[in-house]
Amino acid sequence: MEFNALPINENVTNNVKRVESAVNTAVRGYEKLASLVGGGRKGPYDDKNFEFVGGARDSLRMKHYDKSLRLLWKAEHHLPQGNFRDMTKDEKVFMSQAKQTLNKKERIQIDRFSSDEYKELINREYTQEQKQAIINILAIIGHGEAYAWMVSAEVLTDCKSTGGRAALTMQVLEEAKHFVVLRELMLAWDCDIPRFTVWEYIVLERTLKSKGMEKFFGMNVVVENVAMGIFGMLGELPGLEILKMFHLDESRHTALPYNYFDEMPMTWWEKNSPFAQFRRLTMVLPAVPMMASLEKDMAIIGVDSLEFGGAMLRKIAHMKDRVGFNTFIPSSVLKEFVNDGFNLYASYSRPGHTTRRFVEADTVMGEDMQAIEKELFDLYSTGKKVTELASRKILDWRKAA
């Protein structure tokens, strides 16, 4: 390449370089000293190596950032009745070409959901009582998504490595999308949207107030498992198919602590600090009374909230053990404790109740979502089947509707 290079004064530019080097040594040296007393450089960025502190960690980037971009879904496509305009021109062309290949029945299905008849569809499919029950259940996670957005944004500033930051950036983006899309979806149902229960408030606030990567426990282990449970339970229902996309995203978020700590392991103290262990316990236990609060709404759509809670707790226990978030009480004992709590509640509230294994249940519907969870939790390694009870109840309810 031919450039018309300009003449410069070599002496002056060399002096400029020397001055910069001296000021750099002074500033960096001062920052290093200040860091010993809690001050110093704020950005955990390693400009000498062109990396964030923690290194490249490309495999973390590939498992989360790259995969999230491959699986990125657009609200305009999945919630066409909403006011989102997030598809590119090329995506719109591709979708209209793909539509040509559908048969008449499939096209009617797409057209139906693309029109302003969404409200008519849900009013036809559900009674007002059923609609309100579904919105009450979705509100739990609607508010949870707002906290997931805030928490992941803070974890993004606390996490290490270029790969870790790329992974968290995608989670922030996806939680933002979850909140605004779920909000739009829920508002279309013309129901009251309740505040969250005090049990959920405690878990979410304590998660946001947790320090550093400990936030992964409250958010990616506890709350994400609740979210997967709710999306997995509702994603097969008419007008709620978009929740399958949420379920897919949340499964990636749930895997993030495992992949992150696999690259940059927690210290012994981080795993076993008595304060952290106690704090984790106080974030799992509010799930017990929360299931009692949900009983009425879940019963309306044919789901036993204690089965839902049992499945959720089993998955949380599995994940926390895999990641190394210890909680004083071993998972096997914790599961029995919660199972006993659910049976005690049921023996008071359900005439003729006989003791059951609520922690063996599962309320996830649909083959796709079950397959995702199977991969994630290896739940069925013992050949155990998803409980048929909840599925049967949903089918009975659909037939009756």
Q: Nearer Cβ to Fe ion, position 253 or 314?
A: 253
Give the rounded distance of the alpha carbon of 231 from its chain centre. 11
CB of 256 to Fe ion, least distance (A): 9
Complex with Fe ion: residue 247 or 335, whichever CB lies closer: 247
For strands 45-46 and 51-52, give the pairing: antiparallel
Considering the complex, what minimum distance in angstroms separates the CB of residue 72 from Fe ion? Answer: 14
Give the whole-angstrom CA distance, residue 33 versus residue 47: 19
Amino acid residing at 381: S
Q: How far apart are CA 168 and CA 159, in angstroms?
A: 8
CB-nearer residue toward Fe ion: 182 or 300: 182
Nearest distance, CB of residue 332 and Fe ion, angstroms:
27
In the complex, minimum distance from the CB of residue 220 to Fe ion, in angstroms, rounded to a whole number: 7
Min separation Cβ 389 and Fe ion, Å: 28
Binding-site ranges for Fe ion (CB under 5 A): 145, 148, 175, 178, 224, 250, 253
Residue 224 or 307 having the CB closest to Fe ion: 224
The minimum distance between CB 363 and Fe ion, in angstroms, equals 19
Contacts of 116 (CB under 8 A, 6+ apart): 81
How many Å is the maximal CA-CA distance in the chain? 95
Assess contact for 119 and 178: CB atoms under 8 A.
no
Query: Does residue 177 contact residue 246 with C-beta atoms inside 8 Å?
Result: no
Q: Which residues have C-beta within 8 Å of that of residue 319, sequence separation ≥ 6? A: 221, 225, 254, 257, 258, 377
- Rounded to the nearest whole angstrom, what is the least distance from the CB of residue 17 to Fe ion in the complex? 48
CB of 171 or CB of 305, closer to Fe ion: 171
Instruction: Specify the residue, 178 or 279, whose C-beta has the smaller distance to Fe ion.
Output: 178
- Give the C-alpha separation, 3 to 394, whole Å: 73
Amino acid at 50: F
Q: Give the Cα separation of 392 and 348 in Å (integer).
A: 25
68 vs 387 by CB, closer to Fe ion = 68
Q: Which residues of 243-277 are buried (b: 16+ CB within 10 A; e: fewer)?
A: bbbbbbbbbbbbbbbbbbbebbebeeebeeeeebe
